């Protein structure tokens, strides 16, 4: 049975865990039948034995949803983006939102949901290819290449009146730049701190947080699992937008279990263009 990580890390020799879309081969849990596709925690391994309980309980993937979408836009990635924008940011049409790591899994859904809801959307991403995709395929109002452009200058040019909402996947210097430009009653959605995950010592705090006082601003953390019970509501909305052609998915699929560590590393080098997925194998229908 796949064990949860012990406090302070994984036990030596235990498989890494991750959220996956998997095919059920055998089940003692009545809710799951052989042949079902499920979404939940499993190991970085070809076959996993799970009890379906944990940080994110295993759920059945609705019929017609392919595994790539189940593990991406219609998985926790899409949920945090959906509720982060609709419930934490509480957007009003016409407001300006800036999204960091906008060409990543969460960022791409958050940016497009904001666009669908009538916001002025600026994405921050690394490199020309990502920024072109954001403008041309996701139809954002602007994109900033944080690896090759001066982000402060570009924010001033693209958000001349300031920022109403900052959806932050990254943390680091960009958070300070957004704080500096926050408009009255501005909101900052704290989704992730990718710029800091490799820190082994204390996290640096944002320098400009006093700006929250000056603009009656709000900074709020977002935890996807809080919305577990409302998973179906988000899936229904996101699926409808996908079907209507309003929400595009972009996945970056690395193939082969042996490439799992390098696939994970792509998130930190920024090599992934879209949701980083690892395909272990096509689903089997029976036990071999
Ligand atoms: N709160 C929750 O419940 C929840 C749930 C799921 C995910 N998350 C968080 O959401 C964030 C996005 O997750 P994701 O899976 O969609 O990853 P992702 O955004 O697809 O991948 C990470 C991206 O971050 C950017 N990046 C990496 N290092 C950076 C640095 N030092 N400075 C600035 N940007 C950097 C890179 O994009 P560029 O090349 O474009 O810079 C990279 O592609 C993560 O922080 C994740 O932990 C939170």
Q: What is the DSSP string of 22-59?
A: EE-S--SSTT--TT-EEEEEEESSSS----S-SSS--E
Confidence (pLDDT) at 2: 72
Our mutation pick for probing the ligand 1 site, out of 104, 199, 222, counting the most ligand atoms within 8 A of Cβ, is 104
For residue 165, which of 204, 211, 119 has the smallest C-alpha distance?
119
Q: Quote the tokens at residue 186.
A: 């501005």
CB of 254 within 8 A of CB of 277? yes
CB-CB neighbours of 120 under 10 Å: 20
For residue 84, which of 158, 166, 178 has the smallest C-alpha distance?
166
Ligand 1 nearest atom to the CA of residue 130, by list position: 40
Is pTM beyond 0.85? Reply is: yes
Confidence (pLDDT) at 286: 66
Confidence (pLDDT) at 55: 86
CB of 89 within 8 A of CB of 97? yes
Between the CA of 222 and the centroid of ligand 1 the distance, in Å, is: 14
Ligand 1 binding site (Cβ under 6 Å of any ligand atom) = 76-77, 80, 101, 103-107, 125-126, 130, 146, 169-170, 172, 191-195, 222-224, 267-268, 270, 272, 276
Q: Which residues contact 30 (CB under 8 A, 6 or more apart)?
A: none
pLDDT < 70 regions, the chain: 3-4, 6-7, 284-288
**Separation of alpha carbons 110 and 237, rounded Å:** 13
**Separation of alpha carbons 248 and 113, rounded Å:** 10
- Residue whose Cα lies nearest atom 13 of ligand 1: it is 106
SS3 177: helix
């Amino acid at each position: 049975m796949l064990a949860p990580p012990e406090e302070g890390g994984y036990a030596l020799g235990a498989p890494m865990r991750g959220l996956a879309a998997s095919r059920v081969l055998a089940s003692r849990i009545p809710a799951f039948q052989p042949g079902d596709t499920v979404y939940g925690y499993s190991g970085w391994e070809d076959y996993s034995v799970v009890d379906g309980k944990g940080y994110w309980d295993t759920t059945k993937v609705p019929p017609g949803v392919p595994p790539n979408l189940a593990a991406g836009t219609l998985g926790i990635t899409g949920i945090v983006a959906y509720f982060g924008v609709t419930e934490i940011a509480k957007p009003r049409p016409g407001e300006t939102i800036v999204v960091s790591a906008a060409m990543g899994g969460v960022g791409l859904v958050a940016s497009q949901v904001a666009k669908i809801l009538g916001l002025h959307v600026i994405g921050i991403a690394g490199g020309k290819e990502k920024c072109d995709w954001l403008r041309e395929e996701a139809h954002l109002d602007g994109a900033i290449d944080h690896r090759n452009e001066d982000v402060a200058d570009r924010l001033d040019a693209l958000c001349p009146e300031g920022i109403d909402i900052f959806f932050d996947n990254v943390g680091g210097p960009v958070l300070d730049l957004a704080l500096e430009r926050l408009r009255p009653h501005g909101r900052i959605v704290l989704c992730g701190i990718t710029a800091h995950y490799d820190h082994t010592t204390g996290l640096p705090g944002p320098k400009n947080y006093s700006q929250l006082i000056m603009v009656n601003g709000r900074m709020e953390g977002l935890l996807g699992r809080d919305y577990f019970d409302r998973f179906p509501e988000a899936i229904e909305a996101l699926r409808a937008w996908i079907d209507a052609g309003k929400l595009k998915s972009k996945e970056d699929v690395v193939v082969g279990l042996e490439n799992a560590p390098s696939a994970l590393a792509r998130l930190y080098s920024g090599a992934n263009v879209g949701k980083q997925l690892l395909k272990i194998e096509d689903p089997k229908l029976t036990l071999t």
